[in-house]
Chain A
Amino acid sequence: MIRTPLRPLARILSARDRGENPDAIERENLRLRHEAMRDKSRQRAEGRLLVMGLLFFSAFTVVGARMGLLAATDPVEPRAAASGASILAQRADIVDREGRILATNLVTHSLYAQPQSMVEPERAAVELAAIFPDLDAEDLKEDFTGSRKFLWIKKKISPEQMQAVHDIGDPGLLFGPREMRIYPNGALAAHVLGGASFGREGVHSAEVIGTAGVEKTFDGWLRDPGNGGQPLQLSIDLGIQATVEEVLYGGMKLMNAKGATAILMDIHSGEVVAMASLPDFDPNTRPQPALKGDPSDSPLFNRAVQGVYELGSTFKIFAIAQAMDLDLVNPETHIATKSPMIWGKHRIRDFKDYGAELSVTDIIVKSSNIGTARVALMLGAERQKAFLGTLGLLEPTAIEMVEAPTGKPILPRNWPEITTMTVSYGHGLSASPLHLAAAYASVLNGGTKVTPTILKSPMPAPGPRVVSEETSSILRSMLRAVVTRGTASFGEVPGYAVGGKTGSADKPNPQGGYYKDRLIATFASVFPSHDPKYVMIITLDEPSENSGSEPRRTAGWTAVPVGAEIIRRVAPMLGLRPEVEPPAQHGITLVRN
């Protein structure tokens, strides 16, 4: 940029020569520069004013055009825009394995009030209280005449109630459409389904969220619109579940038990076909959790998944299975069973003295603690622990229910030899009935690991091997023998070749030690034992069978008859034909009777 000097030297010098004031020249130049600058800024401003003028003109034109456009459109009947559309009310159904509905939605209405548009708040309050007896007219009156602009009155109302509220005729009483969760089968499979409640609520819709069970586990899936309304299919069979619950309830009452649980599981796929826990509840009106008392006595408590118990002699087959698999024993190996067995300061006793020695088969058949303990000693703590771990007995089950992680097995803090022995007959280690079902399925189905699932699933690939096929077959023969000539003789169901093992464990006293007269009686069964299809676990809490001269509490007298009755009722529904058992053909022969 070329700068013109304000005091050009040539002009200054000549002015000085002429005797003029050179400052006049500077002032003149300054004025000229200022004028030039002003002219420039005026021209620029002219352009920009023109731009502004055009901008404003076009903006006003746009507003006018938009007005014209709006005026030209026909007014439509005001329609509630879905301002609550962000709350998605659709929730997929839950169906059983045959597609029968377990949980679905029902269109209903919620009732709310906008007191500022009410005509006769006092009358409305009184009439509302007449329709809904649980509402208090005085409270309503206070709410309606106070400064509140909005209040919910009822979350769900029936059509009759809605009509009655309509008949009050007050414009300030309004209805919001709702979808409510309904369980048409009532309390059936209550613990599996869990329940649902309202989450975020708007006038136009409310969110339904799962509170327990599969409703909570699959909450995201059920609400995902991407699934296109496809239902969630469980492995539960509605009819079988109903039968199991009915018989189990009867059995629980007959045996004077305070609680009971039953699990019926497909032995190969791990699908839970029926799972019941008594006492139960109705998920349509899911009760609040009790604030006092033992939570494990609450109807909300899922004994099958959450309840961890010492399951007693049912554990014996795990030690025997491992020992046979490792070729430490065979069914005919004789083990010393002299009672009592003294180990350090501990004494191990059998239910009664079974003589000097018993074969391994007879240890299971007669349920000898001492025999099992000696077999466990052959295994040692490390191998025993590893095997139980393989069967999934040392960690929570993987079933798809929110309650599963709370059913964490209680393990002995350290694992000395005496623990090895007690764990082998089911004391000192607590696990849930579902754990037991999965472990039984694993060792009895031919020896591949089973993971329990509540979803109907296509036949999964067999899991990793836990015992050999031969061991598995021998175990089933032993369990069959328990029913034909052992402790579970009430478990015989003609035509279904039931095999099973009883377990009667004294309940631990919270104050320390064990109760003498309170048991957890368990019957773990498999049927048919020559061609295994299902395992079933029945557990009764504190049963007592009082028909004899003294109360009988052991599993053989309590849980086994209940289990047998369930199998008798359920096996035909499962599509099993009663058949004549083929004679035992394996290397072992069970000829003694």
Chain B
Amino acid sequence: MTEMVFGTMPARVGEPVLPRWWRTIDKWSLSSVLLLFGIGLLLGLAASPPLAEKNGLHPFYYVERQALFGFIALLVMLAVSMMSPSQVRRIGVLGFLVSFVALMGLPFFGTDFGKGAVRWFSLGFGSVQPSEFLKPGFVVLAAWLMAAAQEVNGPPGRIYSFVIALVVVMFLALQPDFGQACLVLFSWGVVYFIGGAPFFLLMVIVGLAVVGGLGAYNASEHFARRIDGFLSAEIDPRTQLGYATNAIQEGGFFGVGVGEGQVKWSLPDAHTDFIIAVAAEEYGLILVLAIIALYSLVVVRSFFRLMRERDPFTRLAGAGLAAAFGVQAMINMGVAVRLLPAKGMTLPFVSYGGSSVIASGIAVGMLLALTRSRPQGQIGDLLIKRGR
């Protein structure tokens, strides 16, 4: 009767959201991220009490905050990972617009927390760094533009995305925040590379980077001193790098033991930029290798899954997000082992930082959403190709 009056009940097409999510998500990457977050909390227990003590807070204040923000970040990540590629594109582009406006507002409303660079908005209970949220949004926007450029009669998306990248880099350099600027430029480069950059151009860019580096080395004394300090075999044991190196050596293979580490008392950035040194000292090489393996698992698996992807946008956006995630981790750890010159960069999910961990959650959520298994037209291929 009811059916006769109101029409039939709308039938559910396909399977429910959660089972489909669970079936298609990359469970290895998801578990790696959860493990990394757990390790971050564990290391926070060791690394942040000195800071809490210095600021007159109870010892695990920062751990609790990190747990709270991390919980929010995980929820955000799961929610984002359930989206379809077009939804990811939508929130990515919108997120980019919002955070770009926020970035432009920094010089007027931002604060520098006495660190010399205006990068944050202070919200009372915490602070937000717009550039953290800008990165995933920018990658999605760039991928969208480049994918559109691959359509016949599509817009000149490569040029557009390059101009946008330059504008963003300029705003970041004004803060100044060269680390994030490099990261933005690098992820644009990855998207461009996957999107089919001509090889000749790549060679030219590499050449220009080398020439520019040499020029900066000769022109800027500050830059030259940083590089010299990096290249010299000796390190001053009273620098952050010196402490970090010493901590890694002290730790050896199995660490000095939980809570026994000393480096967290000397390093001001033990809970953020040099958390890997704390890990190495207290838990030894084992944990460090595990952390590296987890990051590398997420990044490499994402790349390999994207190889099967047919949708250009999904492929490009996924590759850009994975590269940005991986490079950030690599730079952080590379600095601690003196493979790279000193550059402040957090270890995603592991380092302490409220807005940073939520931004990482969004980025990795997008990555997980884009690397979900989807029908890739294999059956169609078989039918059509066979038909011809």
User: Hey, which bits of chain A sit against chain B, CB under 8 A?
Assistant: 30, 33-34, 37-38, 41-42, 44-46, 48-50, 52-53, 56-57, 59-64, 66-68, 70-76, 78-83
Contacts and interface: CB of A to CB of B under 8 A. Distances in A.
Contacts of A75: 246, 249-250
B289 A68 contact: yes
Contact of A57 (B246, B296, B334): B296
A42 to B, nearest CB: 6
B190 interface: yes
Nearest to B319: A49
Contact of A56 (B249, B251, B300, B333): B300
A429 B190 CA distance: 83
Given A66-B339, A74-B249, A82-B234, 12 more contacts: A38-B312, A50-B307, A57-B296, A60-B299, A64-B293, A66-B338, A67-B289, A67-B337, A72-B253, A78-B237, A79-B237, A80-B236
B346 interface: no
Contacts of A72: 252-253
A67 B304 contact: no
A49 B304 contact: yes
Nearest to B250: A75
Given A50-B307, A71-B253, A63 B300 contact: no
9 contacts: A37-B152, A38-B310, A63-B292, A67-B289, A70-B248, A71-B249, A76-B249, A81-B235, A82-B234
Contacts of A34: 151-152
A52 B193 contact: yes
B235 to A, nearest CB: 6
Interface in B70-126: none
Nearest to B299: A56
A44 B196 contact: yes
B337 A66 contact: yes
Given A48-B193, A71-B249, A81 B236 contact: yes
B242 interface: yes
Contacts of B152: 30, 33-34, 37
Interface stretch (B131-139, B155-163, B280-288): B280-288
B323 A56 contact: yes
Contacts of B339: 62-63, 66
A79 to B, nearest CB: 7
A46 B284 contact: no
B195 interface: yes
A45 B196 contact: yes
Interface string B286-314: 00110011011001100110110010100
B150 interface: yes
Contacts of A45: 194-196, 307, 312, 315
Contacts of B249: 70-71, 73-76
A536 B326 CA distance: 83
B370 interface: no
A56 B296 contact: yes
B317 interface: no
B355 interface: no
B330 interface: yes
B315 A60 contact: no
Given A41-B150, A53-B303, A64-B292, A59 B280 contact: no
A56 B326 contact: yes
B245 interface: yes
Interface residues of B, number: 49
Interface of B: 150-152, 190, 193-196, 234-238, 242, 245-246, 248-253, 280, 284-285, 288-289, 292-293, 295-296, 299-300, 303-304, 306-307, 310, 312, 315, 319, 323, 326, 330, 333-334, 337-339
A60 B194 contact: no
Contact of B292 (A37, A41, A67, A78): A67
A56 B303 CA distance: 10
B242 A67 contact: no
Contacts of A30: 152
B303 A50 contact: yes
Contact of B315 (A49, A53, A61, A63): A49
B358 to A, nearest CB: 24
A76 B303 CA distance: 41
Given A67-B288, A71-B248, A80 B237 contact: yes
A80 B293 CA distance: 35
B330 A63 contact: yes
A38 B238 CA distance: 56
A47 to B, nearest CB: 9
Contacts of B235: 81
A49 B307 contact: yes
Q: Which of A52, A61, A74 has the most chain B CB atoms inside 10 A of its CB?
A: A52
A78 B152 CA distance: 63
A213 B197 CA distance: 68
A6 to B, nearest CB: 10
A63 B299 contact: no
Contact of B330 (A46, A50, A60): A60
A468 B333 CA distance: 84
**Chain B CB within 10 A, most for which of A33, A74, A75, A82:** A75
Contacts of B284: 71
Contact of A53 (B242, B250, B304): B304
Contacts of B310: 38, 42
Contact of A52 (B234, B237, B319): B319
B303 A70 contact: no
A52 B285 contact: no
The 3 A-B pairs of least Cβ separation, nearest first, read A53-B303, A78-B237, A75-B249
B280 A49 contact: no
A61 B299 CA distance: 13
Contacts of B312: 38, 41-42, 45
Contacts of A57: 296, 300
A61 B289 CA distance: 9
A59 B249 CA distance: 21
Contacts of B190: 52
A314 B360 CA distance: 93
A70 B300 contact: no
A67 B150 contact: no
B245 A63 contact: no
A191 B375 CA distance: 94
Nearest to A31: B152
Nearest to B279: A67
